[in-house]
Structure formats: C-alpha cells, structure tokens
Amino acid sequence: MKKSLQWRFLLIGISVLVSFVCFLPSTPLFSSMPGWWKTIMPNQGINLGLDLQGGMHLILKVEAEKAVATSVDRMVKNISDDLSAQKDARLEVVKEDTGFSVTAQDATSKEAARKLVSERYQDFAVKREDPTAISYYLTDEEQKRIKDAAISQALETIRNRIDQFGVAEPVIVRHGTDEILVQLPGVKDPRRAIDLIGKTAVLEFKLVDDNADVQKAIAGDVPVDSELLYEKNVDRQTKQETKIPMVVKQNALMTGDVITEARVAIDARFNEPYVAITFDSIGSTLFEKITEENTKKRMAIVLDGTVYSAPVIQEKISGGRAQITGKFSQEEAKDLAIVLRAGALPAPVTIIQNVTVGPSLGQDSIDAGIRAAILGTILVILFMAIYYRLSGVIADVAMILNVVMLLGALGLLNATLTLPGIAGIILTIGMAVDSNVLIFERIREEIRAGKTIRSAIDAGYDKAFVTIIDAHVTTLITAAVLFQFGTGPIKGFAVSLSLGVIINLFTALVGTKVVFDLMTSRRSLKTLSI
C-alpha cells in the first residue's frame, strides 16, 4: 500500500508540474523566463477566440454564376474546336448565355454537330431547333453542380490562404447556400486580410500588342483580339503608385494553374522583393515553348487584370522557373506568393458583411467570465466544506487540481479559449465535485450499514465507479457531437468540456482516493468527517 501511495502522489505531482509548465506561456510571467526555457519548454499557450481578443467577422458571397459562365466559355471553346475538326462540316458556333447555338449550312453538317454534342457533351440539352440551327443550354443539374463545386473550392482556397497567412484557429465554414463565414481572431491588419481573402488570383501570361496604338485604345478603339490593361508601377523613392496603360493580346499563353511553388526572393541589384515561381512538368514545357517562339517580344504577367511586369523575352527559358517583379513591399510579395500557392478562386467573392470586433469587448468578456468562475468556485468550495466537512475540503482540493490540470491541457494543445469555453470550465467545476458527491453518499451508506471506515471508503468508490463512468461517457459523447458539428465558440465549449470530463475522472477516482488511503494507512479511523 505504501509503495502504491508513493507512485500515486508522484503521478499527481508530475501532472501538476506539467500543467503549470504548459499554462505558463499564457501568463505574463512567461515573458520573464530565460531564453533556453522558451526554446525547450512549451511556448504557445492558450489562444483567445474572436469573442475574447477581437478580430474580424466576414461573410463572403461567392458569385457562383460567374463560375458557370467560365465553365460554359471553356466548354463552348472545346466544342467549337471539336466541330471545326469535323471533315466536310460547315458549322458556326456562337455562345448564348449559359449555352450555345450551332448553325449549319446543310443537313449533313447539322447531324454531325448533333451527334458530336450528344456523345461528348451530355451536360448540354437542346433548347430549340430549326432546319439550319440547334440551340443548346447547360442543364440545371450541371449548373447546380458547378456552383456547389465553386463554393466548396472557394472555401478550401480561402482556408489555405488563411492557414499560410498565420491566423491561429480561424473559423471558415459554409454559410447558407452561396456564402462563406470567416472569423479571424486577433488580426491586426484587417485591410491586408481582406485583400488576401478576396483576391481572385487568376494569373495569366499574355503577349503585349506593341503594334496597337495605346491612345486609341484608351479612347475605346481596341483591336479585336486585344484588350486594354494597366501596369501597376510604384516609384522607389516616393512610393507613389501610378498605372501605365498597355494593350495586350486577349488570349493567354498560359495560366497560373501550372504553378507548383511560389516564394519570396530578394533582387540583389535593387534589394527589393520579388516572387519566384516554379512550374510543373506541363507548365515547364509550355513556358519553354512560349519563350522560344516569342523571343524579343514582351510578355505581360497579369494577375486579376493588372499587369505586374512586362519583360522582353531575351531567349528561350528552360528549367520551369520564372519571376514576378512589381516593386513590391515585403508583405505584398508574401501575400502574392500565398495566393499563388493556394490557387485561384473559381469565382469572385464579394464581402457582404464585415464586422471588426474590438479587443475591449473581449476584455469585458474575459473579466465577466473570470468573475463568474471565481464566484462559482467559492460557492462550491463553501458548500462542500460545510456539508461534507473534511471530506468536502478534500473534494475542493481535487476540484482546484482539476482546474489547474485543465488549464495546462488547454495550453499544451494550444487550444482556443472562447466565452463558451469559459462556460465549459465553469461547468467542469460543478462536475468536479459531482463525482465526489456520489462517492461520499455511497460512503455514508456503507458507514450507516456498520462497515469500518476503511471498508466503507473502498466500497463507496467501487459502487460509485460505474455510475461515474456512465455519466462521464454520456457527457463525452455530447461534447464530441458539439465538436463535430459546431463551429467556433461551440467547438471551444466542447473542447473545454471534454478535457474537463477526462481530467475529472482522474482527480475524482485517483486524486481524492489517495488522500483517503493516506489517512487510513497511518491509523485505524473510528470516525470520518463526512
């Protein structure tokens, strides 16, 4: 028995020590710790949620209709190319809203078009038909699929960008049919975060149309196969931004979907950051071919309709690497690299709600939660001490031990504490003594039945064990459901509750039992203060 007591006290002591070390980074004391401590020991601590430390609350609307339009454009181009390859087929393909029409000069060509579309493009259905033409539309089922896929892809793209941006415990979930809810706790630069999230990030490489008259293009006379864009230029001295008009070819030579890596590098000549990009095998081959065929021509690097640079292709570029220069700041280059790595959004997003939660609101919530926790703890301690006397004091010590270990576990897991999470801790305080109430009542019954104090204690723990396990397992199941299907603060509550329940099993069944065993091992007790 003596050896068993030593091991249990050692286990409790180690648990308390580890809990203190893990919770330390969440306290002001951590800043005064030596450097070696901060390097070796846990240094993350507990994060505060949006409702406690402030941050951003955004609702984004995904313009899924534009994803449908883009898909239709791509499919219509493929259909046009396939029909053009048909031998002896004289056909004209014209895009129409969410579909297209095929005009044929003879019945044979019309049937060839009908056959090809029905075999290869079954997502299009016939809208109307006359002797010389067939009009098709994209089916409602396919449009719905494209919209759903666009929203899901937008969700993952935004999540990837924010993860690389470095926000701790963001909330990014689907909201309604075509909206995305984004909560970013502790964001210090809201404008930068919004720019990063909302950037469509469509990267295109286009040839500059040097034969076009820029002034005429500004006046509205743009060549048929070209478009007018503007190059972003920032003065190195004054940092003033200007836009230079430029006419480029409409058709992109290649796009950013072949990029595998984007990172920030420093230009040795001007000591300015730029974004170095690496292509996959397909992109590498294509880029090499493009630069070989267009040597001495200017190629514009276009992101979301803005020209970032338009260098002259001096020679064929092999190796699958290129760079985007644009006189960036370090943060601009970093954000550009993030959006290129995370990929382009499948459709533009519009911010329909933008709420910035101030840290003062969070401090009020923290203060209120701490006051409630302290008051609840004091009331529970007084009740247990008055009603169960010395045994109640032992239960109070176990309850404090429960809270200490719970805070340590939250720090170890680098969990996010929310206002509902504080509520979960307060609930755990009540549950911490609830198990002991069951045990103490069982002990009382055994004492009234005439058993010795030692036998009554052992029987009380044995008989209450199954009931305690059942109660805690059912609570854990509820917490697991809340964590799986809840968001943000609800998950915070579930995490606090789950950890509290698990730790409570240890403190109730081991923490208090070891004290009673210590009391009964030294002398034979005739009475028990319970």
Domain harbouring 122, CATH code? 3.30.1240
Quick one: which of 348, 351, 354, 323 has its CA closest to 337? 323
Residue span of the structural domain in which 232 resides: 203-331
Distance spanning both ends of the chain, measured CA to CA = 23
Residue 279 falls within a domain, yes or no? yes
Name beta bridge partners: 83: none
Residue 10: give its domain's CATH number. 1.20.1640.10
The predicted model scores a pTM of 0.61
489 and 378 within one domain: yes
Q: What token pair was written down for 68?
A: 């449908």
426 and 396 within one domain: yes
Q: 308 with 335: CB under 8 angstroms?
A: no
Residue 151 falls within a domain, yes or no? no
Q: What token pair was written down for 11?
A: 């286990």
Residue 304 falls within a domain, yes or no? yes
76 and 15 within one domain: no
223 and 126 within one domain: no
Q: What token pair was written down for 488?
A: 């943000």
- Alpha-carbon dihedral angle through residues 162, 167, 173, 175, given to the nearest 10 degrees: -90
Task: Tell whether the torsion through CA atoms of 397, 398, 403 and 407 is positive or negative.
Answer: positive
Domain count, the chain: 3
386 and 260 within one domain: no
384 and 324 within one domain: no
Residue 258 falls within a domain, yes or no? yes
223 and 87 within one domain: no
286 and 211 within one domain: yes
Dist CA 462 CA 460 (whole Å): 6
Residue 187 falls within a domain, yes or no? no
Q: What token pair was written down for 527?
A: 């009475």
> Cα 271 to the chain's mean position, in Å?
33
312 and 364 within one domain: no
Domain boundary among 127, 143, 159: 143
Query: Based on the number of CB atoms within 10 Å of its own CB, is 506 exposed (0-12), middle (13-18) or buried (19 or more)?
Result: middle
Cα Dmax for the chain: 111
311 and 216 within one domain: yes
Quick one: which of 140, 154, 172 has its CA closest to 59? 172
pLDDT in tens, the chain (530 residues): 566 777 888 888 888 898 888 888 888 888 888 888 878 888 888 877 777 777 888 899 998 888 888 888 888 888 888 877 776 567 788 888 888 888 888 888 888 888 888 888 888 998 888 888 899 999 999 899 889 888 888 888 888 888 777 776 688 888 888 899 888 887 777 788 888 887 777 788 899 998 899 999 999 889 888 999 998 776 656 667 788 899 999 888 888 878 888 888 888 777 888 888 888 888 888 889 899 999 989 998 888 888 888 888 888 888 888 888 767 778 878 887 887 777 778 888 888 888 877 665 566 767 777 787 788 888 888 988 888 888 888 888 888 888 889 888 888 887 877 778 888 888 888 777 888 888 888 888 888 888 888 888 888 888 888 888 888 888 889 888 888 877 667 777 888 888 888 888 888 888 888 888 888 776 676 777 87
